[in-house]
Structure 1
Amino acid sequence: MLHNTPIDSRKANNSIFGIRLDSMPMQALLNRVEELVKGKERGYITFCNVHMLMEAEKSTYFKTVLKNSTFNLTDGMPLVKILQFKGNKNASRTAGPDTMPLLLELSEKNNWSIALYGGSEKTLSNLKNWVKDKYPSLKIACAISPPFRKLSNQEEKDYIQKINESGTQLLFVGLGCPKQEIWMSKHVEQISALMFGVGGAFSMVTGEIARAPVFMQKLSLEWLYRFSKEPSRLFYRYVWLNFKFLTLLIWRSIR
């Protein structure tokens, strides 16, 4: 397993609930990705938010998944604000939909192949067309839309074989949290690529799912925009989970 995290990210002011968070400038991240790919390193990178930390609170196994990652990037302004409050003044948000296009650009520049795993057939078709339009010389080595159910061992084996035989360097996984992080952790020793759990980025970069206006993103209100679009589905994640997170944070700070 790869553990190439920056030394500073292991300090107490870069962790929340015992989970290491790796907040770094975007260019520093791209430089590290380039080093890892050129070194033919395996590993997986998560985009961590409140939802993910609360999943780790419920599951010791999932907490281990996050602890074993290559990087846990800070995707979620509450986490960024907490790290800044704890003394990490340079902490900043690194969101999957913002990072994925930059990684595609980097892949095109270095003549790397990419692979896509997750999403519906329609979403993958839209994404492939978008990639071909934006990055015409970038090779999509393979794109897999797995069925929305538990896969058999043979299906898992066949998909992994297809990914490896494609010769991809970067694998983007869009299965949603915590499924994608568990999947990457489970297969990290079998897949010869650097993996990124990008969640809903497959649909967001193509415009299939609209992102918040830029001014709302800058004001850390992207969550409010998404909640206004799907209040029933996102109530648990954006209201209830955030309330539990803040309550737990305050309680542990007092204790």
Structure 2
Amino acid sequence: MIDLGKKNVLGVLVDAVDYEAATAKIIDAARERRHYAVTALAVHGVMTGVQDKAHNARLNSFDLVTPDGQPVRGALNVLHHAGLTDRVYGPELTLRVLRQAAAEGLPVYLYGSTQPVLDKLVPALERMFPALKLAGVEASKFRVNHPGEDAEIADRIKSSGARIVLVGLGCPRQEVWAYAMRPLLDMPLLAVGAAFDYHAGLLRNPPAWMQKYALEWLWRLFLEPKRLWKRYILLNPNYVARLTAQRMGLWKANPPAPTSDTVASYSV
């Protein structure tokens, strides 16, 4: 188990952890009914923080930020000698958490995505984990929250008996949601990105060799070129340039302090 704590990657604090440590932290928080916000950041997630200081401060307030992409794992190794041999990929972390939640009888709430995706996801998860207890399933409304709606959502989740919430709203919406809801829910909130689509069978994982050599972005770009071309063609070179500057000491990349500011409005 590897857990070296938070490390500075372009000013975003990412945890140098492996799957075992990340899963244990999440399950411990669920057992103890602790407020606990989690996200898994690939290059796009890190760069979203770099380009938006307020969002960077939110990310730095998360309890656990895992290196979702191989380039982020590589940054932890290059900058901080973390010695990580693998990333902590959101969809895979999701399965490991669900497996342990099912084993311990910890109910899980699914929040986000669309109803058609959830209609495919729920039976898929039930096939994978027959003992899994799904406390509730709620699709995203794809709009800004109304005043007081955060408390209503929190009440629905708490009354369901959930001990873990999986959040599938896409980056950075899901991180904003988890940050805003964290004070209202005494349980882990996992921003899991495209995990809902993957496990519903709507997205295909790239071959293992592409994942190993940090080429998943190319696979995703091939599958969704219109939606993702800006993310990968523009952000990836920017990430490499900033990483090189941080490594050479040409850029300090000072992390903004974690924030406790409330978010007045966010997407639900």
| TM-score, with length taken from structure 2 | 0.87
* 1:61 aligns to 2:54 (yes or no): yes
* 1:246 aligns to 2:240 (yes or no): yes
Larger RCO, structure (CA 8 Å, separation 6 or more):
2
Measure, in 2, the Cα distance between the counterparts of 1:85 and 1:154: 45
* 1:153 aligns to 2:153 (yes or no): no
Q: 2:92 aligns with which of 77, 98, 117?
A: 98
* 1:203 aligns to 2:197 (yes or no): yes
Deviations 1:166-196 (A, max 9, x none): 1111100000111110111111110122110
Measure, in 2, the Cα distance between the counterparts of 1:32 and 1:154: 30
Measure, in 2, the Cα distance between the counterparts of 1:17 and 1:216: 24
Consecutive unaligned residues of structure 1, counting only runs of 5 or more, are 1-5
Q: Which residue in the other structure is 1:116 paired with?
A: 110
**Secondary structure of 2:15's partner?**
coil
Measure, in 2, the Cα distance between the counterparts of 1:241 and 1:82: 15
Q: Which residue in the other structure is 1:52 paired with?
A: 45
Measure, in 1, the Cα distance between the counterparts of 2:242 and 2:84: 25
Verify the 8 A CA contact 1:24 1:92 in the aligned structure 2. Answer: no
Q: 2:216 aligns with which of 212, 217, 222?
A: 222
| Count of aligned pairs | 247
Measure, in 2, the Cα distance between the counterparts of 1:187 and 1:108: 24
Consecutive unaligned residues of structure 2, counting only runs of 5 or more, are 251-268
The structure where helix makes up a greater share of residues is 1
**Quick check: 197-206 or 238-247, which moved more?**
238-247
Measure, in 2, the Cα distance between the counterparts of 1:188 and 1:91: 31
Q: 2:69 aligns with which of 76, 82, 99?
A: 76
Measure, in 1, the Cα distance between the counterparts of 2:240 and 2:214: 17
Measure, in 1, the Cα distance between the counterparts of 2:90 and 2:167: 11
Verify the 8 A CA contact 1:113 1:141 in the aligned structure 2. Answer: yes
Q: Which amino acid aligns with 1:67?
A: N
| TM-score, with length taken from structure 1 | 0.91
Q: CA deviation at 1:248?
A: 2.5
Q: 1:236 aligns with which of 217, 221, 230?
A: 230
Q: CA deviation at 1:157?
A: 2.9
Q: Which residue in the other structure is 1:173 paired with?
A: 167
* 1:23 aligns to 2:16 (yes or no): yes
Deviations 1:112-169 (A, max 9, x none): 1000110000011111111121112211111111211112124433222111111111
**Secondary structure of 2:184's partner?**
coil
